[in-house]
Amino acid sequence: MATTTVMKLMGLSISAAKRAGGIIRDIMKSGQLDIVEKEGKDDLQTEADRSAQRCIIASVSKQFPNIKIIGEEGNAHTSNVPDDMLVTEVDVEFITKNSCPDYLKDIKEEDLVVWVDPLDGTSEYTQGFLEHVTVLIGIAFQSSAVGGVIHQPYYQNANGEIGRTIWGLKGLGVDGFNSKKLDSSKFIVTTTRSHFNNLVKNALDAINPTEVIRVGGAGFKVLQLLEGKAHAYVFASAGCKKWDTCAPEAILEAHGGVLTDISGEHYQYNADVEFPNKNGVLATAPDVSHQLLVDQIPKEVKESMSNK
Ligand code: AMP
Ligand code: MG
Ligand code: MG
């Protein structure tokens, strides 16, 4: 059977995320990070963010001219892309081993939106916490996050191989990581490393976890849930954007977890939504009660977020 648009897009996203990971490593090796501060406080951009975005957006838009693609680094970093930066081959293993879920079989390019965070965890990248860095490519259909790729360029396996790529598609499944069973005698929460504030603290205090894992990036935090290392990701702050959560949400939910705002509402991912996830992020691993956690977040925290 001919490959569907979504499967080809997933296959190309896997290849493009891997190439972006190589670019991120090369720029770190060169030492030429060329860091600039973006508009917001605590918001950095490096040459790796810019080049990785150029590679991903140019590659996807060349193959899928009618798909709306939104990247964190804006439109300034999507043109003048040299041919050798373009990824044209879809990931063969993905395409040959998997088939398209029925509900996505007949859809057109115009029905999809792709959200790109070319380098999630930029603060950590500049500070040498390289394991926290991920490349995120999320796919939305009818405003919902349905598919995604998380590539971790600095992950090292037991054989010393560098980089790994995790994917998920709702209705198909997930791949690229090992999941261990959660320790039910504990309740481990992962949250921000570099964007901590009082609201984030109040929400965590109310949940009273046995352990808090503070790491960078939405991608790396959701990886903690996928791998069974943390029960929940709690971030009662407005800093995350749609490109941070689209891919992680799709993969986590394809695996049986849940990702919403801190009041339990799913975010929308159509092309005209506002970028900030103003009501924070609350994600739970499979077999953890999402609603219980929503109920534990104090009303004052929820209200003070939705007033922003
Ligand atoms: P963190 O959990 O702090 O690593 O953040 C996850 C993602 O959200 C990263 O892409 C951050 O850049 C972004 N983010 C979170 N809080 C903020 C903030 N206060 N300002 C800018 N970006 C933020
Ligand atoms: Mg990010
Ligand atoms: Mg980023």
What is the pLDDT at residue 1? 55
How do residues 209-250 score in pLDDT, each as one tens digit? Answer: 999 999 999 999 999 999 999 999 999 999 999 999 999 999
Question: Model confidence at 80, in pLDDT bands (50, 70, 90)?
Answer: confident
d(CA 132, CA 220): 6
Q: Is 305 in the pocket of ligand 1 (CB under 6 A)?
A: no
Residues 6+ apart with CB under 8 A from 227: 177, 178, 179, 180
Amino acid at 170: K
Q: Which of 263, 273, 253 has its CA nearest to residue 305?
A: 263
Q: Fold match between 5-175 and 188-306?
A: no
d(CA 150, CA 274): 22
Ligand nearest to the CA of 132: 1
d(CA 296, CA 302): 11
Token pair belonging to 127: 């500070």
Catalytic residue among 49, 91, 117, 244: 49
Question: Model confidence at 7, in pLDDT bands (50, 70, 90)?
Answer: very high
Q: Is 124 in the pocket of ligand 1 (CB under 6 A)?
A: no
Q: Which of 219, 189, 251, 1 has its CA nearest to residue 122?
A: 219
Give the other-Cβ count within 10 Å of 6's Cβ: 23
Minimum CA distance residue for ligand 1 atom 20: 239
d(CA 89, CA 284): 34
- Entry pTM: 0.98
Where in the chain are the domains?
5-175, 188-306
Token pair belonging to 143: 């405003």
Q: Name the one residue in this structure whose structure tokens are 């990036």.
A: 217
Q: How far is CA 75 from the centre of its chain?
A: 20
Domain 188-306 falls under CATH 3.40.50.150: no
Minimum CA distance residue for ligand 1 atom 13: 240
Give the other-Cβ count within 10 Å of 106's Cβ: 10
26 included as an active-site residue: no
Q: Rounded mean pLDDT of 281-303?
A: 97
In the predicted model, is pLDDT for residue 291 greater than 60? yes
Catalytic residue among 122, 165, 245, 260: 122
How do residues 133-187 score in pLDDT, each as one tens digit? Answer: 999 999 999 999 999 999 999 999 999 999 999 999 999 999 999 999 999 999 9
46 included as an active-site residue: no
Q: Rounded mean pLDDT of 47-71?
A: 96
Topology annotation, domain 5-175? Fructose-1,6-Bisphosphatase; Chain A, domain 1 (3.30.540)
In the predicted model, is pLDDT for residue 76 greater than 80? no
Q: What is the mean pLDDT of the chain?
A: 96
Q: Is 217 in the pocket of ligand 1 (CB under 6 A)?
A: yes
Whether residue 33 contacts residue 25, with contact meaning beta carbons closer than 8 Å, is answered with: no
What is the pLDDT at residue 308? 63
How do residues 256-270 score in pLDDT, each as one tens digit? Answer: 999 999 999 999 999
Q: Is 40 in the pocket of ligand 1 (CB under 6 A)?
A: yes
Q: Is 216 in the pocket of ligand 1 (CB under 6 A)?
A: yes
